[in-house]
Chain A
Amino acid sequence: MKTKKLVALVLALAMLLCLAACGKKDDGSSNGSANAATPGAANSIAVCLASEPDTIDPALNSAVDGATLLAHLFSGLAKWAQDDSGNLVIVPDAAEELVEGVENDDGTVTYTYTLRDGLVWSDGEPVTAGDFEFSWQRAASTGLAADYGYMFEVVDGYNDIWETDDNDEYVNPDAKLNVRAIDEKTLEVTLYNAVSYWNELLAFPTYFPVREDVVENESWATDPSTYVCNGMYTMSGWDHNSLITLTKNPNHPDADEVTMETIEFYLSDDSNNMLSNFKNGSWQMIDDVPTNEIAALKEEYPDEFIVVGQLGTYYVCWNINEEILPASSTLTGAEAENAKAEIRNAISLLFDRNYIVNDITQAGQVPASSFVAMGLTDADGSEFYENAGHDSGFVGYYDVSEDALEGNFETAVETLKKYYTYDEATGKFTDFPTLTYLYNTSEGHKAIGEYLQSALANVGITINLENQEWATFLNTRKQGDFSLARNGWLGDYNDPISFLDMWTTSSGNNDVQFGKGDNANVAIYSLDLTPYGLDTKVENGTWAETYDVLISAIKTCTDAENRYAMMHLAEDMLMETGCLCPLYFYTDLYMLDSSVHGFFSSPLGYKYFMYCTIE
């Protein structure tokens, strides 16, 4: 009897303790449930883009989620906005207007901007032209060594700043950008030559202003109390790794247009967690979804699962120095190099890109047949990728429609037969060397790798799959220690050059190893720039003598038509090597609650919440 009483007592005590433990949090949880049930007040929005940003110093940021925060916190000279018909346009922000440049005698172009009235920092100080001058000099300086410092490479003086001698020492330690504040309100900047995307650069976070006395404190951008900004919002809270809260800045000249009082940026790196919070109504917008949920979400949330274009290409890249001819091949020199290019191009034809986007990635990606991504414009305003390649009848360098699959396969097999032994009975090549496909550890990349493996196995080509952890992978790929590797590129601004200048010999992103190793001495490339008014004509030159020359010609060309024509030429050169095998153009997917109106995003993936309302 006594035991029973004791047990009852102990049990009661245990329950009490449990209740007390939960009860204590119940106060909070009622908040939580309120939060979960009613998705914020109408003038507040809760969103989740990514985990804690590495930095939200405008000059140092190089991430898309950081850029979204900065677009709300700062006013640069220009900004992205939606016009009446819903198209995205660049409009003046801190500048009164986006002026035309004036060409100088030496070919440089000078722009003179006047700042709007009423611009103040969040601590009440006025924003001056001097702040812009300081910020730009800082962002482009060797001392700061910002990832995106090269965004200023179009500004006169940049090359002098970064010029190094043979010992990697800076030649001109006192060099500066050619930008100066003429008075409190007038800013003058000189570019090496006219650049079609200059206004877009002005809207880029690296060009946003900061104040000298604020950034003297190296930790200024890590705490709301020291975070002084000049945009439509101020930072009212930062609970590290958890939540950044932005509150409308009533002193901004455009404050009347801002409809969203508070934006809560929750910080999470787990797409499953994001989805849970979206599903229970806690968050109204999430910028990532679990890959394996995409198909279900499209069904379940047809209006809230949103896919938009993004300036990026997912591709397979070859190591140009990889030996792929059969051991029995007698080809050498230029003949061998041309044969390899032909083989690589033939292999590009063996992949069914529609299968990849429809059955593997399933997020509205577009099969790609050229390297410069969809969404970048050509000289006449049309899509650059639609004008790529030579053939009419299809877009790009090969036909990636479903109907063309069989024809592509036959063409590829016929081409490969020239170099390899083909067993007609089995329909397979017997002496293609075994290759390895390298990718960074991820279910999505693995699934694509497995598809590529099976597609090539069909014709008797064996590729082994090898995955590496992200940082190791980057290192391996950069050093050219691979035969085939997954690759992807997102443009920083709407100009094809951001996809083309990465393939110059000395570029840090030249993963293919063009002009490096054995390829450094391969002289099979030709370049003729006479149609564009230049006297450059090279036949059988090296990569450095042709492609590098072409890219610098593009960078200094002031005639838009010639410049774009040369960019097509550069892409032709790249694609002829067969080293880049584009699979699809990236898309940006996110979930947006149907109660949210007035939201838009830019082609670079930045999200804008200031004009949102919740109904």
Chain B
Amino acid sequence: MSSKTLLYIVKRILLALFTIWVVITITFFVMHAVPGGPFVGEKATTPAVQAAMEAKYGLDKPLMEQYGTYLRDIVTKFDFGPSLKQRGRMVIDIISDGLKTSAKLGVIAACISAVVGIVLGAVAALQRNKLIDRVVMVLTTAFVSMPSFIMGSLLLVLFAIKLRVLPANGATPAGLVLPIITLALYPAAYITRLTRSSMLDVLGQDYIRTARAKGVSGRHIIFGHALKNSLIPVLTYFGPMLAYIVTGSLVVERIFAVPGIGRAFVSSITNRDYPMIMGTTIILAALIVIMNLITDILYKVVDPRITLE
């Protein structure tokens, strides 16, 4: 790795840390500005109970002091604090439980979508305007335009209720099949279309024509030149997509009752569970920042002409 690349990476990491700090600060103050609080319920507790709870979790202190304490605990101890709603549980435990499930789902779905998408896209490009191309295009158009809550519900009704071959809840490994398919369909369709158009573009390039003229074999042209070069747009899409998909999809998690991080994120906001809101936001922001960084570095691997600076 050249020193230039290394410098670039260091710069990007510093920028990433700065981004996360900005996210923490904005979230912290916006969250406290929203009306309602973690100990407000349909049945009001007495002011004394309310005060006792606030004192217990340090919410009675001035906001700037709370902010300072929070930042210090994160930086020095990586301590996200206790959940205010799920009493007795630490935020980091809740997040890691949810993230494990969401990540498992996300990574499998992303891998499936990448393999299926690239293969189908390449095939469609090579078979341009033939039957297989048209079928692929029609199907991918359908999948790209169908929102996940419709796709998820359709799969649920078909496989879990009508055919009864798969369970409708994500509590068992078998229960993860439908959510994985639901999660994978959109990116798979998108990658197919991306690969196809990019491949068509590459196949029309001069160097491909040159290679053909030189008598290079079709297989070598496709795998050695065309496919690799047509993956750059796919890569641009894949990195952030992976981050989003891994950090959980609320819709899919709700439809299939998957214990992922997406549900935890949304319910933490409804509950005004301040440490949970902060914890999930920080982790999600960090993942997205990291995935973007990895994507940028991978560009160079795929296309050495790109310089990172």
**Chain A residues near B (Cβ < 8 Å):** 2-3, 6-7, 10-11, 13-14, 17-18, 21-22, 25, 28-33, 35-37, 51-52, 54-55, 57, 60, 62, 142-143, 145-147, 149-150, 162, 164, 168, 170, 218-222, 239-243, 266-270, 272-273, 276-277, 279-283, 469-472, 474-476, 478, 488, 507-509
Query: Known contacts being A17-B115, A18-B116, A147-B49, is A273 close to B176, with CB within 8 Å?
Result: no
Stretch at the interface among B33-41, B69-77, B278-286: B33-41
Interface presence of B123 (CB below 8 A): yes
Chain A residues within an 8 Å CB radius of B153: 272
Query: Known contacts being A162-B48, A273-B257, is A475 close to B88, with CB within 8 Å?
Result: no
- A51–B266 Cα distance when bound, in Å, is 13
Query: Known contacts being A219-B89, A220-B88, A508-B47, is A2 close to B219, with CB within 8 Å?
Result: yes
In the assembled complex, 23 residue pairs joining A and B whose CB atoms fall closer than 8 Å, in A order, are A6-B126, A7-B127, A18-B116, A32-B174, A33-B164, A33-B174, A60-B87, A145-B52, A147-B43, A147-B49, A149-B49, A168-B51, A219-B90, A221-B87, A239-B259, A266-B171, A272-B255, A273-B168, A281-B164, A282-B169, A469-B270, A471-B36, A472-B35
Number of CB contacts from chain A to chain B under 8 A: 210
Whether A22 contacts B177 by the Cβ 8 Å rule is: yes
- A57–B224 Cα distance when bound, in Å, is 63
Query: Known contacts being A145-B56, A162-B48, is A10 close to B123, with CB within 8 Å?
Result: yes
Whether A267 contacts B167 by the Cβ 8 Å rule is: no
The residue that B88 contacts in the complex, of A7, A55, A170, with Cβ under 8 A, is A55
Whether B88 contacts A36 by the Cβ 8 Å rule is: no
Chain B residues within an 8 Å CB radius of A218: 88
- A202–B132 Cα distance when bound, in Å, is 71
- A161–B25 Cα distance when bound, in Å, is 40
- A98–B224 Cα distance when bound, in Å, is 85
Beyond known contacts A28-B172, A280-B160: 12 more, CB 8 A cutoff: A2-B218, A7-B132, A17-B116, A28-B177, A31-B173, A54-B87, A147-B43, A147-B49, A219-B88, A219-B90, A508-B45, A508-B46
Chain A residues within an 8 Å CB radius of B35: 471-472, 475-476
Chain B residues within an 8 Å CB radius of A11: 119, 123
Interface presence of B272 (CB below 8 A): yes
Q: In the complex, which residue of chain A has the Cβ closest to the Cβ of B54? A: A145
The residue that B257 contacts in the complex, of A14, A25, A270, with Cβ under 8 A, is A270
- A75–B157 Cα distance when bound, in Å, is 41
- A62–B53 Cα distance when bound, in Å, is 15
- CB of A284 to closest CB in B, whole Å: 13
Query: Known contacts being A2-B219, A241-B264, A471-B37, is A273 close to B177, with CB within 8 Å?
Result: no
Interface presence of B12 (CB below 8 A): no
- Scan residues 142-185 of chain B and give those whose CB is less than 8 A from a CB of chain A: 153, 156-157, 160-161, 164-177, 180
Whether A33 contacts B254 by the Cβ 8 Å rule is: no
- A72–B233 Cα distance when bound, in Å, is 56
Whether B270 contacts A280 by the Cβ 8 Å rule is: no
- A507–B177 Cα distance when bound, in Å, is 50
Chain A residues within an 8 Å CB radius of B165: 29, 32-33, 36
Q: In the complex, which residue of chain B has the Cβ closest to the Cβ of A31? A: B174
Q: Nearest 9 pairs between A and B by C-beta?
A: A508-B44, A32-B174, A471-B36, A241-B259, A28-B173, A145-B52, A28-B174, A32-B167, A268-B257
- Scan residues 93-109 of chain B and give those whose CB is less than 8 A from a CB of chain A: 94, 97-98, 108
Whether B218 contacts A6 by the Cβ 8 Å rule is: yes
Chain B residues within an 8 Å CB radius of A28: 172-174, 177
Interface presence of B225 (CB below 8 A): no
Whether A276 contacts B160 by the Cβ 8 Å rule is: yes
Q: In the complex, which residue of chain A has the Cβ closest to the Cβ of B111? A: A21
Chain A residues within an 8 Å CB radius of B116: 14, 17-18
Whether B88 contacts A147 by the Cβ 8 Å rule is: no
Whether A507 contacts B167 by the Cβ 8 Å rule is: no
- CB of A438 to closest CB in B, whole Å: 13
Chain A proximity mask over B206-242: 1 for CB below 8 Å, otherwise 0: 0000000000011100100000000000000000000
Q: In the complex, which residue of chain A has the Cβ closest to the Cβ of B184? A: A21
Interface centre among A2, A28, A469 (most CB of B within 10 A): A28
Whether A276 contacts B48 by the Cβ 8 Å rule is: no
- CB of A488 to closest CB in B, whole Å: 8
Chain B residues within an 8 Å CB radius of A29: 165-167, 174, 177
Query: Known contacts being A10-B123, A218-B88, is A478 close to B53, with CB within 8 Å?
Result: no
- CB of A613 to closest CB in B, whole Å: 24
Chain B residues within an 8 Å CB radius of A470: 36, 270
Whether A280 contacts B164 by the Cβ 8 Å rule is: yes
Whether B40 contacts A478 by the Cβ 8 Å rule is: yes
Whether A472 contacts B34 by the Cβ 8 Å rule is: yes
The residue that A474 contacts in the complex, of B40, B47, B111, B115, with Cβ under 8 A, is B40
Interface presence of B120 (CB below 8 A): yes
- CB of B220 to closest CB in A, whole Å: 11
- CB of B66 to closest CB in A, whole Å: 19
- A265–B43 Cα distance when bound, in Å, is 25
- CB of A113 to closest CB in B, whole Å: 28
Q: In the complex, which residue of chain B has the Cβ closest to the Cβ of A279? A: B161
Query: Known contacts being A14-B119, A21-B112, A472-B35, is A36 close to B160, with CB within 8 Å?
Result: yes
Whether A54 contacts B86 by the Cβ 8 Å rule is: yes
Whether B48 contacts A168 by the Cβ 8 Å rule is: yes
Query: Known contacts being A10-B122, A147-B49, A168-B51, is A35 close to B42, with CB within 8 Å?
Result: no
Whether B52 contacts A142 by the Cβ 8 Å rule is: yes
Whether A280 contacts B112 by the Cβ 8 Å rule is: no
Chain A residues within an 8 Å CB radius of B172: 28, 31-32, 35
Q: In the complex, which residue of chain B has the Cβ closest to the Cβ of A143? A: B52
Whether B222 contacts A6 by the Cβ 8 Å rule is: yes
Whether B36 contacts A475 by the Cβ 8 Å rule is: yes
Q: In the complex, which residue of chain B has the Cβ closest to the Cβ of A21? A: B112
